[in-house]
Each structure stands twice: as structure tokens, then as C-alpha cells.
Amino acid sequence: MKATKILNGNQTIAEAARQIDPDVIAAYPITPSTAIVETIASFRADGLIKGEFVCPESEHSAMSVCIGAASAGGRVMTATSSQGLALMWEMLYIAAGLRLPIVAAIANRALSAPINIHGDHSDTMGARDSGWIQIYSEDCQEAYDNFIQAFRIGEHPDVLTPVLVGLDGFIISHSSEVVQVEDDAAVKKFIGEFKPPYPLLDTSRKFTVGPIDFTDYYFEHKRSQIEGIENSPRVIEEVGKEFGRTFGRKYGFFEEYRTDDAELCIVVMSSAAGTGKDAVDELRAEGKKIGLLKPRVFRPFPYRQIAEALKKMKAVAVLDRSSAPGAFGAPLFTEVRSALYDYEKRPKMVNYVYGLGGRDIKVEHFKEVARKLEKIAATGKVDEMLGYINLRE
């Protein structure tokens, strides 16, 4: 039955996994996602999960097991972080290329070197073009809700694409919040039965999976793969609306916070958006016309919808929790700026990198960004396109 529980982010993912009960769960523990794997293993040992739980020798092997199980026709999931996701790199592309709707929970963590176990988005942003759908969570409730929706999205016959659900390491993975855990039967009904189109265990048909593919058909097969992720926006919207009708919490591509009459806007993903909303409230109390836009879906990037939401602004700051050395700005910034390129009237834009290695971003930092946006809006000039927040230099 439906219950309100105090859970941290890792526990919410494990709780959703228990309710969904995938056919195969293959994962190797790594900080800060270890508790996801430990809790699922405990559920399996206690008989609360019927699916197979596999703990192989590495994350590369974990994704390999997922690919084999999904190819056989199973509903499959994994969980990892940071270097673990990086060790899966080769297999991420194979999972996407084979159109296997594997779901992965990623407790976002900085990539080494130097070694750091705290949260930023360098791991998943490094995988942004691997062909996986990417959904990000602001808090524990969103992590739970996003993870459940991920199965419906990825397994849709028009999509058949793996889905990654991000939750900020330690900030969300280890922080306890009040979470609405839905009724087991209701979650099962919402997820439904997975009907794979070409399971390897179906011996009545002859086909190959992942054969060698030179210049003759590789291009066509990659175009087919792209078709799946291009079909996903409609499905993401439909699933988000149905989730809202079923459980009372509706989801879309992004959330707008106090943007109706805003002239300035801050764009920021994941847990920092919560702090940003507090800053916006305080700035609004001072009479500042500022709002916040929180992207939830990064791949496929909802560029038309985001551009429509931001085109009326005088100045926009995009905050990235990862860097892209040598690029024209960090990942989220380049996407948002490109989305607005074709608009004759568009806001001045600035990019700030924040929180690398888990460094705090506080209300006062958002207020500092707001002051800079006010200056940009007043002068129409961006003196420095890329800056850093809470950095000693």
C-alpha cells in the first residue's frame, strides 16, 4: 500500500527497483551508489525481489551482463557512478546501438583525477552522446519518480533506447527526505509488461544481434538508432502526464519557477535547483524580476521548448556542474545557447561552472549571479562569457 517513508536517494532507487522487480539486475558497487546495490542485494536475499541479481567483477562486466540479459528479452537495470560509468563506456554505445532499453541509476560523481568521491555531472555529461536518454533529479522524490518512468519510456516500442537517471552524489544519494512511496501493485500496473520485439530466446525466428557491419549498412543502422531517441520526446511527455494522473506528480521536460513575468532567468539542473528556488524567492521579495528554469531531460535535449521559455528574457545565466575543456562553454550552456540561435530577439547569455567535486553552491552564490545578470541586462554587454562560482583563484 501507499506509504510515506524517510529515505535517502539510494534507498529510493532500491525501493523503486523492488517494486518493479526487473528480470535481471547487474551492478558492481561504487561510491556513492554502493547502497543502491547493497539494498537491492538485501531485497533479493530476503525474497522481496524475484529477478536475478548479478554482482560481476567490474562495471564493464555489469553492463555486459545487462546487454546479454536485455538481448535475451529481459527487463534489466544497473546502477553506478563516476569511474564505474567510465569503465562502462564501451558498453554504453553497444547497449544504445542494439536498442536495448536498459535503465541505469547514476549517483553523479566527479571523474578522477584528482580522486574525488563527491557529486558533479562530469560522469554523465561525458556520456551525453552515447545514445542514452538522460533524466536528472532534483531530490529523492524525483529520483524515485524518474526511475519508475524510465522503464516505460525506454521500453516503448517507438523508443527502445536505454535510459540513464541521474541523482547528485551524496547531496541526494545520501540525504534523507520524506518520500511518497506508491503502492506496489499500482507501480506494477503503471510499468506494465515488457514485450521485447526481438528476444534472442525466441527461437522461432532467425536473426543476429550485433554482427559486424561495415560500409554497407552501418550508416543505416545508426540512423535507425537515432530514430529511437528522436521518437522519445512524445513518449516522455505522455508518460509524465500519465504518471501525474496516476500518482499526482506530473512531469515534463523541465520545470519553470516564477518565470511568468521574469526578465532574468537562471538555468540549472538537479539538486542545485532547490537552492536556486530559495534564492529566487528572496530576490523576488526584493522586487527583482527573476525566475529559474530546471531542465529535467537533457537527452533528448528539448531545445524548441526551452528556447520558447527563455526567448522573452533580457539575460540568462546557465549553470553547469561540469566543464568541457576547450569547448565554447560547458555542456548545458552550449545546448541552451544553440537552441536560441535562430531567434532574432534573444537574451544575452552567460555561463557559470559551479560545484565541481561536490563544492557547495549556496543562496548567496545565486544572488551573485543575479546581480551580474542585472548588469548584463542594463548594459546589453557580456564582459566574460564563462565564469566560475565559489572558486578560489
Q: How far apart are CA 276 and CA 319, in angstroms?
A: 10
Lowest mean pLDDT among 47-61, 90-104, 197-211, 226-240: 197-211
* Backbone φ, ψ for residue 104 (5° rounding): -125, 130
Paired residues of 176 in beta bridges: 8
CATH number for domain 3-247, candidates 3.30.9.10, 3.40.50.970, 3.40.228.10, 3.20.20.70: 3.40.50.970
Local confidence band at 254 (pLDDT 50, 70, 90 cut-offs) = very high
- Cβ distance 290 to 265 under 8 Å? yes
pLDDT of residue 208: 86
| Digit-coded pLDDT (tens) for 140-185 | 999 999 999 999 999 999 999 999 999 999 999 999 999 999 999 9
| Digit-coded pLDDT (tens) for 301-321 | 999 999 999 999 999 999 999
Q: How far apart are CA 263 and CA 163, in angstroms?
A: 34
Is the pLDDT at 251 greater than 90, yes or no?
Answer: yes
Lowest mean pLDDT among 67-81, 123-137, 195-209, 229-243: 195-209
Paired residues of 317 in beta bridges: 266, 350
Residue length, the chain? 393
Local confidence band at 1 (pLDDT 50, 70, 90 cut-offs) = confident
- Which is it for strands 163-168 and 133-137: parallel, antiparallel or unpaired? parallel
Average pLDDT of 287-298? Answer: 98
Q: Which residue intervals of the chain bear CATH 3.40.50.970?
A: 3-247
Judged by DSSP in three states, 78 sits in strand
Which helix (H) or strand (E) is 222 found in, with range? helix 218-247
One-letter identity of residue 107: A
Q: How far apart are CA 168 and CA 182, in angstroms?
A: 23
Q: Which residue intervals of the chain bear CATH 3.40.50.920?
A: 254-388
- Which is it for strands 315-320 and 297-299: parallel, antiparallel or unpaired? unpaired
| Digit-coded pLDDT (tens) for 177-219 | 999 999 999 999 999 999 999 999 998 988 888 889 999 999 9
Local confidence band at 324 (pLDDT 50, 70, 90 cut-offs) = very high
Average pLDDT of 271-277? Answer: 98
Local confidence band at 50 (pLDDT 50, 70, 90 cut-offs) = very high
Q: How far apart are CA 110 and CA 128, in angstroms?
A: 15
The cell for 355 is 560545484
pLDDT of residue 154: 98
Architecture of domain 254-388: 3-Layer(aba) Sandwich (3.40)
Local confidence band at 94 (pLDDT 50, 70, 90 cut-offs) = very high
237 closest CA partner among 309, 156, 310: 156
The cell for 69 is 540479459
172 closest CA partner among 84, 38, 302, 81: 81
Tell me, what DSSP letter sits at residue 288? -
How many CA atoms within 13 Å lie on the side-chain side of 289? 10
pLDDT of residue 71: 97
pLDDT of residue 197: 93
Q: With pLDDT > 90 as the criterion, what percentage of the chain qualifies? A: 97
